């Protein structure tokens, strides 16, 4: 997420690439952006940028074609005359998660260019606000947000005074890692800066903010020291508020950090500058706002209860020590059942087409044998094999069924023979011997 240094780098980029450029026409907004339209149009105008904390202000200034000079005085007194030149306009930007400015040829317009300023030259170029996540916002005729404090980079003395005079504020009841993200007091500090500041001072991230900052109220230097010695002491032993100013300035002086499309070394320099944020070997926890804080050592007394810190491992070490992806794949429920000490009985029914396809090899193996019996017979067989307590009753039922079947077949056979005998025998005749007459 862009923080104070990134907003200042964006402002520096706009002022550098737009120096001497003339813009013309309407300001266009993309159809998908939910930000407001920018109702500005001029035959010729120039663009300049001013940063403050986590905000950047673009000033659109109309100029005369003959003189190519700003019309600040004429525009301010133009009134309602339709023939008067357009008035200057300020547009305040807040970058969200992924905002940035780019100057590109018209034929190479980025996909997520949501606000576009066209140059007057031919072929035209476009200064565009690019934001692929669309969390960035702009405000037409906007001003600096009133609930943001002095900028940690450009207004250091006011920033320091604003913090030390308001330590009774409830914002400082929270852990220092959460207080550092409060833009009312730390305008320009974000997630990676707070981790680097606390790490370099060896301050636990979940120490109470007021406890950490109250010690700075009583910090005094020997008045007998010369100015050069005072500056040297500050550089060698900076306090938290001084690092809130000096570390963002260090990042700013690293270079473009992605704002110069033709440079690929800027982000590498930034990664080498980081000592704690997302660095292998560091721990991490989520604070009360759900943001991840990186640190080393103990988290502090206000750390979330019941949450264990996660340790960042280096990618190279993990790749060398860990087996291949196939070996580290967690076993599924089917494989865990098959690999347990209780083996699956032969012929057990597999439900679902996908299941049958996944375990087809296992079913056709010699250990299991081919499936030949019907589903009902398999269920009965598996039930008998899975539960040894019910094996004897099952065998008894089988014997009784066999006896009943044999008895039934015997009765049927006997009845059939009697019927056949009745059909073949004729009427009964009695023979009386002659001797008995």
Q: Which of 247, 270, 295 delimits the end of a domain?
A: 295
Same domain for 135 and 213, yes or no, is no
- Beta partners for residue 138, in sequence order: 93
- pLDDT tens, 382-392? 444 544 444 45
Confidence of residue 358 (pLDDT cuts 50, 70, 90): very low
Does the pLDDT value for residue 115 go beyond 70?
Answer: yes
- pLDDT tens, 147-182? 999 999 999 999 999 999 999 999 999 999 999 999
Which of 129-138, 275-284, 329-338, 403-412 has the least mean pLDDT? 329-338
What does the pLDDT read at residue 67? 52
The catalytic site residues sit at 2-3, 54
Cα–Cα distance measured from residue 373 to residue 381, given in angstroms and rounded to the nearest whole number? 10
- pLDDT tens, 266-321? 678 888 999 999 999 999 999 999 999 999 999 999 999 877 677 766 544 433 33
Same domain for 161 and 100, yes or no, is no
Cα–Cα distance measured from residue 110 to residue 97, given in angstroms and rounded to the nearest whole number? 17
pLDDT > 90 fraction of the chain, expressed in percent and rounded: 52
What does the pLDDT read at residue 315? 47
Same domain for 160 and 106, yes or no, is no
Same domain for 68 and 180, yes or no, is no
What does the pLDDT read at residue 306? 76
Domain with 31 in it: 4-75+83-140
By the 10 Å C-beta count (0-12 exposed, 13-18 middle, 19+ buried), 411 is classed as exposed
In CATH, what number is assigned to the domain containing residue 130?
Answer: 3.20.190.10
In CATH, what number is assigned to the domain containing residue 291?
Answer: 1.10.8.50
Confidence of residue 252 (pLDDT cuts 50, 70, 90): very high
Cα–Cα distance measured from residue 272 to residue 294, given in angstroms and rounded to the nearest whole number? 16
Total number of domains constituting the chain: 2
Same domain for 177 and 221, yes or no, is yes
DSSP characters over 302-352: TSPTT-PPEEPPPHHHHHHHS--HHHHSPP-HHHHHHHSSSPPPTT----S
Same domain for 162 and 282, yes or no, is yes
Same domain for 29 and 136, yes or no, is yes
Same domain for 111 and 205, yes or no, is no
Same domain for 242 and 287, yes or no, is yes
- pLDDT tens, 407-431? 666 555 555 555 454 454 445 455 5
Same domain for 162 and 131, yes or no, is no
From 95, 93, 127, select the one nearest 108 (Cα to Cα): 127
Does the pLDDT value for residue 249 go beyond 90?
Answer: yes
Cα–Cα distance measured from residue 221 to residue 233, given in angstroms and rounded to the nearest whole number? 9
Q: Which of 295, 314, 349 delimits the end of a domain?
A: 295
Does the pLDDT value for residue 366 go beyond 50?
Answer: no
Q: Are 156 and 138 in contact (CB under 8 A)?
A: no
Confidence of residue 191 (pLDDT cuts 50, 70, 90): very high
Same domain for 168 and 259, yes or no, is yes
pLDDT > 70 fraction of the chain, expressed in percent and rounded: 60
Same domain for 281 and 179, yes or no, is yes
From 60, 81, 57, select the one nearest 71 (Cα to Cα): 60
């Amino acid at each position: 997420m862009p923080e104070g240094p990134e907003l200042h780098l964006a402002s520096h980029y706009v002022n550098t690439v737009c120096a001497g450029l003339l813009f013309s026409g309407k300001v266009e907004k993309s159809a998908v952006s939910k930000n407001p339209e920018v109702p500005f149009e001029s035959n010729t105008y120039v663009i300049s940028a001013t940063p403050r904390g986590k905000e950047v202000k673009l000033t659109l200034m109309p100029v005369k074609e003959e003189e190519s000079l700003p019309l600040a005085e004429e525009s301010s007194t133009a009134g309602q005359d339709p023939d008067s030149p357009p008035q200057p306009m300020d547009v305040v930007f807040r970058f969200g998660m992924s905002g940035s400015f780019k100057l590109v040829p018209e034929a190479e317009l980025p996909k997520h260019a949501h606000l576009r300023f066209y140059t007057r030259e031919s072929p035209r170029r476009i200064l565009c606000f690019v934001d692929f996540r669309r969390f960035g916002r702009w405000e037409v005729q906007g001003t600096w947000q009133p609930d943001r404090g002095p900028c940690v980079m450009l207004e250091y003395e006011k920033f320091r005074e604003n913090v030390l005079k308001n330590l009774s504020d409830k914002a400082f009841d929270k852990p220092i890692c959460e207080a550092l993200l409060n833009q009312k007091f730390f305008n320009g500090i974000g997630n990676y800066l707070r981790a680097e500041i606390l790490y370099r001072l060896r301050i636990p991230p979940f120490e109470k903010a007021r406890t950490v900052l109250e010690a700075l109220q009583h910090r005094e230097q020997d008045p007998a020291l010369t100015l050069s010695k005072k500056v040297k002491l500050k550089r060698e032993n900076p306090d938290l508020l001084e690092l809130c100013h000096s570390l963002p300035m260090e990042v700013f002086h690293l270079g473009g950090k992605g704002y110069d499309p033709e440079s690929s070394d800027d982000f590498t320099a930034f990664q080498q500058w980081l000592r704690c944020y997302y660095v292998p070997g560091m721990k991490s926890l989520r604070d009360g706002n759900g943001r991840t804080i990186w640190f080393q050592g103990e988290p502090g007394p206000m750390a979330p209860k019941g949450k264990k810190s996660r340790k960042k491992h280096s990618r190279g070490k993990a790749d060398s020590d860990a087996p291949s992806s196939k070996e580290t794949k967690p076993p599924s429920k089917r494989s865990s059942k098959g690999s347990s000490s209780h083996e699956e009985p032969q012929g057990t029914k597999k439900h679902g087409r996908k299941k049958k396809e996944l375990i087809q090899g296992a079913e056709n193996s010699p250990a299991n044998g081919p499936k030949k019996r019907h589903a009902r017979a398999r269920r009965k067989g598996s039930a008998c094999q899975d539960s040894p307590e019910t094996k004897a009753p099952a065998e008894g039922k089988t014997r009784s069924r066999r006896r009943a079947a044999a008895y039934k077949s015997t009765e049927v056979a006997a009845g059939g023979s009697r019927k056949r005998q009745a059909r073949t025998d004729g009427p009964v005749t009695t023979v009386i011997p002659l001797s008995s007459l």
